[in-house]
Amino acid sequence: WGQRHKTENTHNMGAYKYVEELWKKKQSDVLRFLQRIRVWEYRQLPSICRVTRPTRPDKARRLGYKAKQGFVIYRARVRRGGRKRPVRKGIVNGKPVHCGITKLKFARNLKSVAEERAARRCGALRVLNSYWLNQDSVYKYYEVIMVDPMHKAIRSDPRINWICAPTHKGRAMRGLTSAGRKHRGLHGKGHNYTKNRSSKHAQWKNNNRLSLKRYR
């Protein structure tokens, strides 16, 4: 019965489900060929450019994208690899503990860097989310879903008009997107995970600060 039930479900798959299953097999001949051709095109274009529609419509829709006015897609390119210390000729005029130049890791993930760069390019738009698109030996490519908070179609839609509130200005720069919350350590749940709320630094301050009440 289980096998028959499985085959029946495959017959009822919609178009987005087929696209999703295709993207799950990134090592397949079809997708490898497509990605190789696409990444060549991306290399010729600017590092941040607008695209007319999402390359991965299924993924974009799962992250909140709608094909309506007010939604914009930007493709951002980020150089891969760790972070080199920006000092002249690799000379750190300080203690030996700070002499490391290579093998340093940037605190944030590349996805949040791509979101921030796209947000800085389009200051009036707000970053909703983003997803991985492609990569080669030098760059990673992400598509960033952005929303125009001043558009009537956005402001009148109760499912998305939360992003019009002024508290969501500069979301990508303040670590409020999904990628930003991830590098802040806020993606987990469960027992003892309250130690990461509201932030690791705030919890550290609470645990290490000596609180002396006036009357004690």
Among the residues of the chain, which ranges form H helices? 2-11, 15-24, 29-44, 57-62, 110-121, 152-155, 178-183, 200-208
Whole-number Cα distances in Å, 187 to 132, 142, 182, 183, 194: 18, 20, 5, 9, 11
Structure confidence at residue 6 (pLDDT):
56
Instruction: Name the token pair of 207.
Output: 């645990």
Structure confidence at residue 147 (pLDDT):
98
Residues in the chain predicted with pLDDT less than 70, given as ranges, are: 1-11
Q: How far apart are CA 71 and CA 65, in angstroms?
A: 7
Residue type, 92: V
Q: Give 151's Cβ-side CA count (13 Å radius).
A: 16
- The answer to whether 38 touches 60, Cβ cutoff 8 Å, is no
- The answer to whether 134 touches 38, Cβ cutoff 8 Å, is yes
Residue 183: burial class (beta carbons within 10 Å; 0-12, 13-18, 19+):
middle
User: Does the reported pTM lie above 0.75?
Assistant: yes
